[in-house]
Structure 1
Amino acid sequence: MNLYNLKKEILNGYQLSKNEAIQLVDEDLNLLCKFANEIREHFCGSQFDICTIINAKSGRCSEDCKYCAQSVHYKTVCTEYPLLSSDIIKKEAIRNAKQGVMRYSMVTSGKNVTDAEIDTICDIAENMRDVPIKLCGSFGLLKRAQYEKLYHAGLTRMHNNLETSQRNFPNMCSTHSFEDKIASINEAKSVGMYICSGAIIGIGETFEDRIDLAFSLRELNVQSVPINMLNPVKGTPYETLDKITEEDFRKTVALFRFILPTAYLRLAGGRGLMSDSGYSLFRCGANATITGDMLTTAGISMEEDIQKIKEMGFHF
C-alpha cells in the first residue's frame, strides 16, 4: 500500500501494522510529515495541550538510568532536596495557571515515593483544589493503594515514561525493568487514572525500537505521549552520545502519529536543542508540549511557547 493510501486508511480507522510502520522509515520525510499532520488534524483538530512540570523532589535517585543527572550512580552537577513545601508548589501552580497553562505535574526523583510522602502529596493536592489547573504526578513505580490515595486527592493523570522499547530497556537501566513499568501503569489505570507515558529518543535505539515502543503505548491506550530528545548530561554514561539529527526527530514524531493517530504527542525535554526550538514538529503530527524548564535542564519560556503555538493556529 502506498503512503497516500495508507494515510487514507488510517483516517478511516485502520490501525497500522508493525511491518507497515517499518516501511514508513524509508518514505520521503516531507511527505511523511505532511500526512502525519493531516492525521493529527483529522483526529485531534487544532486542540493543543500544554503543561508544565516542577521538580518537587530532586537527586539521590537509587536507579541507574544512564541518561539521568539525578542518579546516585553518576557524578553529575545536580541539586539535591527533599519534597518541596505545599506553599512553593502551589505558588508555582498559580503562576502557571495565570499564563494559560492547562496542566501542572509534580515530579519526584527515586524509584518511588514513601507512604508518608504520598500522604504529603495528597495534602498538597487537596490544598490546590482552588487553583484552575489540572494536577498530574510522576512518582515512580507505585502500588494500587498509593494510586488510589492520589486519585481521590485529585490527581487524575499519572506520568510514567516507558522510555524505550522492551528490547532496548536493559541497555538503559538495570535497577528496574520495562515489565515493572508496565505493571505500575496498569495499576494506575485500574483505579481510573489517565496515563502519560512516552519516549527518550537518541539513547542508542534503532527506528524499530522506537516503533516497538509506540506499539506498546498503543496497546496500553496511552493518550498523552511525551517525546524527549536526549540532552546528554555530563557525568552520565550517555554524555558522549551524539545528538540525533533533526530529520530523525521529525521522522520519529511523524511515525508516532501514524501509529497513535488520536494521542496527544507531547514534545518534552531536548526540544530546545533543535534549531527552531522544535516548532516545526507541530507540523509533523505533534500537538502538545511541556513548556518552561525541564527537571534538570532549561526549557523554553511559557510566554514564547503560548504566543507561537497560537500563531500556528492551535487553541487551548
Structure 2
Amino acid sequence: MWLTIMVWDIESLLDLSRGKLKDLLERADSVRRMGGDGIEFCSIVNARSGGCSEDCAFCAQSVRWDTGCRSSFLSLDEVMSIARSCRDSGIHRLSLVTSGRTLTDRDLDRLCGIYEVVSNEVGLSLCGSHGLLDEGQLRRLASAGVSRYHCNLETGPGFFPSICTTHGIEEKLRTLCAARAAGLELCSGGLLGMGETDRDRAEMVALLSGLEVDSIPLNILMPIEGTPLEGAAPVDPETVLRWGAVMQIAVPGATVRYAGGRSLLGEAVSIGLVGGIGGLLTGDYLTTTGSSAKDDVELIESLGMKSGQR
C-alpha cells in the first residue's frame, strides 16, 4: 500500500511542478542544504570489467552484446594508485565496482584484501558495488572497511523486465535490505532514457524512499554501440533536472548525485547543482569517460559552492 501512496504523491509533485521548474528546484535545494552546503565528490574504479553473464540492455559489459569490452581484474597496486590519486584530488568517497551477477568466494577474498589495505593506508570512505550478494558476504565487506553498498534499481518494477531478464528488481531489493542488515549505508538510483515513463520513474523513487537510501546516483543513458539501446533517443535536460529535484524532495535524507551521462546535460549541470543535486561522481565511469576532479572543483567554485563530505 505504501508504494501506491508514494507513487501517487510523487506523480502529484511532478504534476504540480509543470511550468514551475524554478520553484521545484528551489524547494529541492532547500532540502539539500539541510544536509550541509558542500558538494560531495565520489569516484568509481572498474575493478573487474567485462565478461558479465547478465543481459542488461544498456550495459557494454555483457557478453551478450558485441561492444568490444575486454575482461580484466585490477591488481592491488593499480587500485592503490587510483585511491591515492582520488585522495589527493579532494575526492571523498571511492567505490570498487565489479561486473557480473555476484562474487565467488575467491573474488570476495581478493576484494576484501584490497579494501583492507585501501582503508588502512589511504583513508577514503569506501563503497562497494558487486552485484547480488547475501548478508554474510556483505558483512565481510563491512569488516574489510566498506561503509556503503551500491546496487542501482535502474527503473521501476513495471519496466524493469524490459531492460533485464536474467535477474529481477526483487533480487536487487533483497540485496539492499541485506546490506542494511549488515550495517552498511545504501547507494541506489536509476538510469533515465531507456524508454521508461514518468510512472516507471515514480515507482523507482517510491522504492528508494521506502528503503531510505543514503545516496541516489542520477544516471543519464549514454547509448553504447552494440547494446540493444544503442539507438535510444536522448533525454531532455529539463526532464533530468525535474527528476533530480523530485528525488531530493521525496528522499530528503539522501544525497542525490550526478553520475554517468551528465556530460550530455551541458549548462543544465550547473542548474541542478543549485537545484537539489548534492554530489558529483567525478572521473571516468565504467565504460565511458567523465570529467576530472579539477574541472569539477572549478565548476562548483564558479557557483559559489565548496566541496565537502555530506
Count of residue correspondences: 300
When the two structures are superposed, what TM-score results if normalisation uses the length of structure 2? 0.93
Shift of 1:85: 0.8
The match for 2:3 is none
The match for 1:220 is 211
Deviations 1:115-148 (A, max 9, x none): 1110011111111212021111100001111111
Deviations 1:159-217 (A, max 9, x none): 10010001111111000000000001111111100111000011111112112111100
Q: How does 1:118-267 map to 2 (within 5 A)?
A: 118-128=108-118, 129-267=120-258
Query: SS at 2:44's partner residue?
Result: strand
Deviations 1:227-278 (A, max 9, x none): 0000000111101010111111111111112212231001100001122372
Shift of 1:220: 0.4
Mapped contact 2:11–2:199 kept (Cα < 8 A): no
The match for 1:307 is 298
Read off the aligned partner of 2:59 and give its amino acid letter.
Answer: C
Query: SS at 1:61's partner residue?
Result: coil
Read off the aligned partner of 1:181 and give its amino acid letter.
Answer: K
**CA distance in structure 2 between the aligned counterparts of 1:291 and 1:19, rounded to whole angstroms:** 31
Partner of residue 279 from structure 1, selected from 246, 270, 280: 270
2:63 matches 1:90: no
Read off the aligned partner of 1:183 and give its amino acid letter.
Answer: R
Mapped contact 1:24–1:255 kept (Cα < 8 A): no
Mapped contact 1:16–1:259 kept (Cα < 8 A): no
2:80 matches 1:100: no
Unmatched 5+ stretches in structure 1: 1-14
The match for 1:116 is 106
Deviations 1:77-132 (A, max 9, x none): 21321x21111101110011001100111000000111111001111111121202
Deviations 1:262-311 (A, max 9, x none): 31001100001122372221122101010010000010111110222233
**4+ long deviations beyond 4 Å:** none
Mapped contact 1:211–1:255 kept (Cα < 8 A): no
**CA distance in structure 2 between the aligned counterparts of 1:19 and 1:304, rounded to whole angstroms:** 35
Query: SS at 1:239's partner residue?
Result: coil
Read off the aligned partner of 1:184 and give its amino acid letter.
Answer: T
**CA distance in structure 2 between the aligned counterparts of 1:101 and 1:205, rounded to whole angstroms:** 32
Query: SS at 1:63's partner residue?
Result: coil
Query: SS at 1:156's partner residue?
Result: strand
The match for 1:56 is 47
**CA distance in structure 2 between the aligned counterparts of 1:236 and 1:88, rounded to whole angstroms:** 29
2:10 matches 1:21: no
Read off the aligned partner of 1:36 and give its amino acid letter.
Answer: A
Mapped contact 1:25–1:207 kept (Cα < 8 A): no
**CA distance in structure 2 between the aligned counterparts of 1:185 and 1:167, rounded to whole angstroms:** 19
**CA distance in structure 2 between the aligned counterparts of 1:28 and 1:116, rounded to whole angstroms:** 53
Q: 1:16 to 1:40 in 2, by over 3 A?
A: farther
Mapped contact 2:41–2:307 kept (Cα < 8 A): no
Superposition RMSD in Å? 1.6
**CA distance in structure 2 between the aligned counterparts of 1:62 and 1:118, rounded to whole angstroms:** 18
**CA distance in structure 2 between the aligned counterparts of 1:202 and 1:293, rounded to whole angstroms:** 20
**CA distance in structure 2 between the aligned counterparts of 1:214 and 1:120, rounded to whole angstroms:** 34
Read off the aligned partner of 2:134 and give its amino acid letter.
Answer: K
Partner of residue 291 from structure 1, selected from 263, 269, 282: 282
When the two structures are superposed, what TM-score results if normalisation uses the length of structure 1? 0.91
Deviates more, 1:154-163 or 1:126-135: 126-135
Deviates more, 1:273-282 or 1:100-109: 273-282
Mapped contact 2:156–2:204 kept (Cα < 8 A): yes
Mapped contact 2:155–2:201 kept (Cα < 8 A): yes
Read off the aligned partner of 2:162 and give its amino acid letter.
Answer: N
Query: SS at 1:158's partner residue?
Result: strand
Query: SS at 1:50's partner residue?
Result: strand
Mapped contact 1:22–1:211 kept (Cα < 8 A): no
**CA distance in structure 2 between the aligned counterparts of 1:136 and 1:38, rounded to whole angstroms:** 27
Mapped contact 2:11–2:202 kept (Cα < 8 A): no
